[in-house]
Structure formats: C-alpha cells, structure tokens
Amino acid sequence: MKEFDYKKLVIATDQFSPSQLIGKGSHGYVYKALLLDHHQEDKDYDKHHKVVVAIKTPSSLLPSSPSSSSSKSEQTKKLENEINVMSSLPCNQHVLRFLGHADKKLMVVEYMPNGSLHQLLHVSAAPIHTWLKRIDVALQIARAVHFLHERGVIHRDIKSENILFGSNWEAKLADFGLAVDMAGEKARPAPAGTIGYLDPCYTSPENLSTKTDVYSYGVVLLEIVSCRKAIDVSRSPSSVVDWAVPLIKEGRIGEVCGGGGGGSDVFRGMNLRLLRMAARCVSSDVESRPCFREITAEIVACMAEPLKSLPLWVSVLRRVVQLKRRKKRLRETMTWPGQTCRVW
Ligand SMILES: Nc1ncnc2c1ncn2[C@@H]1O[C@H](COP(=O)(O)OP(=O)(O)OP(=O)(O)O)[C@@H](O)[C@H]1O
C-alpha cells in the first residue's frame, strides 16, 4: 500500500478547491487531482508521468466544515475502514482500484471519468447504453461482489451511486466505507446501508450475511432493467421492489422493462429469466436468495438467450439475400445491351 505525503495531496487538490470537487457523499468529498509518480511502467501514466486520480477525504476534515466532533470521528472512521478493506484486497477489474493513502485521512483511488450508474439511468438526458450493455453492467457488478464474498468481505452499500464508469465505460464497484471483513471483524457492526437498498431482514448485527448484499444487488438489477429509482416518492408504490415483484409474479415482464430496446421480443426470454432472478434476490426468505456464483452464471446464461432465436433471424436474412441475388440474375437475363428493364 503506497503512503502519500499529506501536504502533496492537499496541493494536488489545489487546497481542496471547489473547482477540483467531483463528488459529494454523506461522509466524504471527492476531488480530482493530477499526481506525479515514478511508476512509469504503468500504462495509465501520460508522457509527463502524471496520472489523474480521485482523492477522498472526510468532509469534516475540510477547513470550512461546520460538522460536530461526533460526526467528525464517524466520518474519519468510515474512511479508515474503507482504506483498510480496500488495501487488503487484491486488484480486480470490476472493483475500483486503490492507489494509497495519506495518514489514513486522505484516500487515493483511480479516477472514473464517466460518472455513476445512477446518473446514467436517472439523470442523463439520453442514456447511451443499449439493452445488452446495461445487462453487462449488471454482470460486471455481480462479478465484483462475487470476488468480495470469496474473500470474506461484505460490501453493505451496493447501490447505483456506488457503481462508477471508467474511460471505456467499464463498470466498477466503489465506496467501501461500510464494508465488513468477516474474517477480521471481531464484533459485527450495527446494521447500516442506504434506504431503498437495505435488506429489510438485516435488523441486527447477527443477521449480516452475504445475502444482505444479494438483496441490495437485486434492487440495482431491478433499477437497471426498469430505469426506475430504488425509491421514487412521486410514484406509487414508491419502492421499485414493491412495484416490480408483483408484476414479475404475474408474468407482466414487458411492463417492468424500461428503455434501451429492452421491450423487444428478441429479449423476452432473457428478461423473463433475469427478472425472476431479481425477484429471488429481493425475497423475504433469505435462504432462497441465490449466491453470487449462481447470479453470475445465470446472467451469462440469460445473455445467451437471444442467440436461441438466431436460426429464425439467420433464415430470414438468408432469404433476403437469396431474393436479392435472384432479382439481380433476372435483371441481367432480361436486359439487352442499350436497353433497360425494371424487374419490380
Ligand atoms: N474514483 C472516483 N472517480 C470519480 N468520481 C468519484 C470517484 N469516487 C467517488 N466519486 C464521486 O463522488 C461521489 C461520492 O463518493 P462516495 O460514494 O465514495 O462518498 P460517500 O460519502 O462514501 O457516499 P455515501 O453517501 O454513499 O456514504 C460518488 O457518488 C461519485 O459521484
């Protein structure tokens, strides 16, 4: 784990200048910064050996912060926890890359230039992702959580705001402030998470399990498929779970799929399987929820579903090509030099 010089990081953020601020959470402020580094072999470094990074600090540490000392220690603890968990994990292509810290007060991570899944689904004027690309985001995040669970880490705050996009629109899981290392933790912490994503069965510290993340992931999956927010008070029911699960049980799959060409018949089989799995993820029967090994395998199988209708498409395409060839041949046989003839 690389230790950075605190003062150098402060200078890199231009003294926590608002012009460098790229994100605000309930606990931390995130700044964009350009750092000089000596790891020239790293392909992310430009020719001046500089790299763009994101620097996270508890908002309470900022000079202008009005927060009380109790929230100060809570925010600092959350960042410390995030640094401890992230630094204990090996690199994974679906998890935000940890680069180091300064005095456990500032955390340096890779910069994600394309915003969050929440922005893409609910804020962007024109979400650019096609249906399959959206489902691929769900697969990448399922792989990220599977990777964490295999190492005994429970994220506890899976939500669309914590799924960030890199320069090639690769999705990565971020914000490990609430993450729990089940192997390292002695006493389990009090239940925590984000309303709308928080498992209703997670009511006491002992109830924490990998299935807690499965519930939150199920909410994200419903969000991806429907483009509805986890909680939208302007709608009734306001919770995406309360709205979608009865529709899925009644087989009204088309009504749940929103935008991006998802309503197309080609994707019907795929959406049916995906939504049935999403409903299992958010089930109140914790034991019946799938694990992430099953979730990733099921999404891969779901994504292959549209290929099953391929022979039909191939035969239609072949027929069109045959007709075009026949038309061309006919035109050639019916046309004399200097004479034109329309076949149809
Ligand atoms: N590496 C990054 N690259 C670009 N933007 C980022 C990065 N990390 C965080 N952000 C932005 O900053 C916002 C807040 O970051 P983060 O979620 O880590 O803070 P938090 O205080 O832990 O949030 P929460 O309210 O969920 O507890 C994110 O929603 C995102 O928009």
Residue nearest to atom 20 of ligand 1 (CA): 25
Q: Which atom of ligand 1 is nearest to the CA of 112?
A: 3
- 138 and 270 part of one domain: yes
- 46 and 149 part of one domain: no
- 93 and 10 part of one domain: yes
* Residue 302: both structure tokens together: 């779901």
- 100 and 132 part of one domain: no
Last residue of a domain, one of 81, 110, 139: 110
With the most atoms of ligand 1 within 8 angstroms of its CB, the residue from 21, 22, 29 to mutate is 22
The pLDDT of residue 238 is 97
Q: 112 CB contacts (<8 Å, ≥6 apart)?
A: 54, 96, 164, 165, 166, 172, 174
Domains in the chain, number: 2
Say whether the peptide bond before residue 237 is cis (omega within 30 degrees of 0): yes
Contact between 157 and 150 (Cβ < 8 Å)? no
Taking alpha carbons only, the member of 224, 269, 259 closest to residue 244 is 224
Q: Confirm whether 265 is a catalytic residue.
A: no
Rounded CA separation 100/112 (Å): 16
Domain membership of residue 237 (yes or no) is: yes
Rounded CA separation 258/222 (Å): 10
- 25 and 44 part of one domain: yes
CATH number assigned to the domain comprising residue 77? 3.30.200.20
Domain membership of residue 334 (yes or no) is: no
Q: Which of 157, 175, 199, 213 is catalytic?
A: 157
Residue nearest to atom 10 of ligand 1 (CA): 23
**238-241: long-range contacts at Cβ-Cβ below 8 A with a sequence spacing of 24 or more?**
239/196, 240/196, 241/282
Domain membership of residue 73 (yes or no) is: yes
Does residue 13 have its Cβ closer than 6 Å to ligand 1?
no
Q: What are phi and psi of 164, to 5 degrees?
A: -110, 155
- 136 and 93 part of one domain: no
With the most atoms of ligand 1 within 8 angstroms of its CB, the residue from 13, 24, 30 to mutate is 30
Q: What are phi and psi of 116, to 5 degrees?
A: -110, 165
Helix (H, G, I), strand (E, B) or coil at 43: coil
The pLDDT of residue 50 is 84
Residue 172 forms beta bridges with which residues? 164
With the most atoms of ligand 1 within 8 angstroms of its CB, the residue from 97, 164, 194, 197 to mutate is 164
Helix (H, G, I), strand (E, B) or coil at 335: coil
Domain membership of residue 344 (yes or no) is: no
Burial (CB < 10 A; 0-12, 13-18, 19+), residue 331, is middle
Domain membership of residue 234 (yes or no) is: yes
Q: Which atom of ligand 1 is nearest to the CA of 110?
A: 1
> Residue 74 is part of which domain span?
6-110
Taking alpha carbons only, the member of 46, 68, 57 closest to residue 17 is 57
- 106 and 133 part of one domain: no
* Residue 256: both structure tokens together: 């749940």
Taking the centre of ligand 1 as the mean of its atom positions, its distance from the CA of residue 23, in whole angstroms, is 6
* Residue 13: both structure tokens together: 């953020």
Last residue of a domain, one of 110, 144, 169: 110
- 59 and 99 part of one domain: yes
Rounded CA separation 110/258 (Å): 32
Domain membership of residue 318 (yes or no) is: no
The pLDDT of residue 333 is 59
Last residue of a domain, one of 79, 110, 141: 110
CA 161 to the chain's CA centroid: 8
Q: Which atom of ligand 1 is nearest to the CA of 82?
A: 22
- 94 and 196 part of one domain: no
Taking the centre of ligand 1 as the mean of its atom positions, its distance from the CA of residue 167, in whole angstroms, is 17
Rounded CA separation 277/260 (Å): 20
Rounded CA separation 108/326 (Å): 64
| pTM of the entire predicted model | 0.85
Does residue 167 have its Cβ closer than 6 Å to ligand 1?
no
- 191 and 297 part of one domain: yes
- 106 and 216 part of one domain: no
Contact between 89 and 109 (Cβ < 8 Å)? no
ipTM, two decimals: 0.95
What does the pLDDT profile of the chain (344 residues) look like in tens digits? 689 999 999 999 999 999 999 998 888 899 999 997 655 445 554 555 789 999 999 877 666 665 554 466 778 899 999 999 999 999 999 999 999 999 989 999 999 999 999 999 998 876 667 888 999 999 999 999 999 999 999 999 999 999 999 999 999 999 999 999 998 767 889 999 999 999 999 999 999 999 999 999 999 999 999 999 999 999 999 999 999 999 999 999 989 987 666 667 778 888 999 999 999 999 999 999 999 999 999 999 998 877 676 566 666 777 788 788 777 777 765 554 455 444 33
Taking the centre of ligand 1 as the mean of its atom positions, its distance from the CA of residue 33, in whole angstroms, is 15
- 166 and 265 part of one domain: yes
Taking the centre of ligand 1 as the mean of its atom positions, its distance from the CA of residue 174, in whole angstroms, is 7
CA 115 to the chain's CA centroid: 10
Q: Which atom of ligand 1 is nearest to the CA of 27?
A: 21
CATH number assigned to the domain comprising residue 182? 1.10.510.10
Contact between 296 and 135 (Cβ < 8 Å)? no
CA atoms within 13 A on the CB side of 231: 8
Taking alpha carbons only, the member of 220, 199, 187, 161 closest to residue 24 is 161
